[in-house]
Amino acid sequence: MAGSDTVRIVESCGRLEGEVVPPGDKSISHRAAILNSVAKGEAEIRNFAPGADCLSTVRCLRALGVKIVRKNWDESPALLVSGRGGGSLLEPGNVLDAGNSGTTMRLLGGLLASQPFLSVITGDASLRRRPMGRLIEPLRLMGAEVWGRGQDSFAPLVIRGKRELWGIDFALPVASAQIKSAILLAGLFARGKTVLHEPAPSRDHTERMLRLMGASLEIRPGSISLQPLDRPLAALSLRVPGDISSAAYFLVAGAIHPNARIVIRGCGINPTRTGIIDALVAMGGRIRMDNQREEGGEPVADIVVESSQLQGVEISGSIVPRLIDEIPVLAVAGCVARGKTVVRDAAELRVKESDRIATVVSELSRLGAKIEALPDGMIIYGGCTLSGAEVDSHFDHRLAMTLAVAGLMAEGKTTINNAHVARISYPAFWQALSSLTDREPE
């Protein structure tokens, strides 16, 4: 692998072998920082996700008066968070900037609706194109005062928070953990209970953490019911498990490379996140989970993946929210597998950091993939030989890393433009990749 920070050149390699320690889980890190900010006491969050997205959350929380100290950042990142306990956050002196992070904007949106001051939250060009009506609508049903650009559809959001919210009984129109979590955060400080119905299970990190911090939640298949807090959340120190969404690039690379064995250490295997493992195993992937244990209320394992003969599959229905962020890299597996891979029920991909149906189809096509877009997914014709070409991340971190995996399987050189955006979720991705290949970075 060669190139500069923004342009990376990836080539095939004879063998892919070694160990990867993925960064701390991004979803869990956001939640640990946010929930501990309103908890009582001090918390140490070890293995905090070092990517730019979670730093956006930290920046916003500091602007809201939360004392957060970074520790040991270059070796093993940790945060010390001094919760504001029963007291409220402080009115920020300026606009809050969520950067590229949908989780920051939506989770803080829910929390700020309950805080008795005015806040404005914005983000980068990609985040300002993403749908926020789905957040504003349920918060307004709770009595919140929230407005957005484009007739309450987009950020910047203006939030006049207040203490007098009330709980709602609400059916989420999409299986979105961000919206679910935002409503739960508002519900913590509302009057009366909040009941949510999900069309399919989405990641449940908020629910797990809230319980560990003393909130009263009842979880039934398809619904969650939360009682408002009668005392502050208790600070929760934890070690964040490795991020399966970051590990996914190596899970796919290991399975599709003809001469590979990769060990992924300390990876989160929460069942609401392991759709990628289930899909690869269904395709014939040789994947084993060793040393299963629990960290921070979440299941963790060391995962071993080896070269496999993959067969195309259909990905649709309730597995989709369990692998939504991994569909781009799964499409690379589909290119190499025998037969056809069909992805359906995944229209949510169109409103991620990029329109991931359009960008995956356009960039993998440049490498010679036979892939067609559907309104809610894609069809990938397998058995394809990819050839190196110039491609672009469209400033989408998951696409940059997906294209690196595709480049490993392509003949010749693959030049990835705007590759630096991998740092949104995985700053050490390029080093991790080159540690597995037999080429040294130039």
Binding site for ligand S3P (CB under 6 A): 27, 103, 176-178, 181, 203, 324-325, 348
Catalytic residue among 325, 345, 392, 438: 325
**Which residues sit opposite 197 in a β-bridge?**
171, 223
For 320, the enclosing helix (H) or strand (E) is none
User: What are 107's two structure tokens?
Assistant: 């989770």
CA distances for 229 relative to 168, 215, 233, 291, angstroms:
15, 6, 8, 36
Least distance in angstroms from the C-beta of 398 to ligand S3P: 8
* The pairing of beta strand 390-392 with beta strand 414-417: parallel
CB of 27 to ligand S3P, least distance (A): 3
The DSSP code sequence of 231-274 is SPPBP--EEPPB-HHHHHHHHHHHHHSTTEEEEEEEEE--TTTT
Measured torsion, CA atoms of residues 368, 369, 370, 375, in degrees rounded to the nearest 10: -130
Task: Compute the C-alpha angle 201/202/203, nearest 5°.
Answer: 125
Nearer to ligand S3P, 37 or 181 (CB): 181
Rounded to the nearest whole angstrom, what is the least distance from the CB of residue 347 to ligand S3P in the complex?
Answer: 11
d(CA 33, CA 43): 9
Least separation in angstroms between CB 181 and ligand S3P: 6
Active site residue 325: yes
Minimum separation from the CB atom of position 323 to ligand S3P (A): 10
Integer CA distances (angstroms), 141 to 145, 165, 186, 190, in order: 10, 9, 11, 12
Q: What angle do CA 97, 101, 106 make, to 5 degrees?
A: 85
Q: Which is nearer to ligand S3P, 386 or 400 (CB)?
A: 400
Q: Which residues are the active-site residues? A: 325
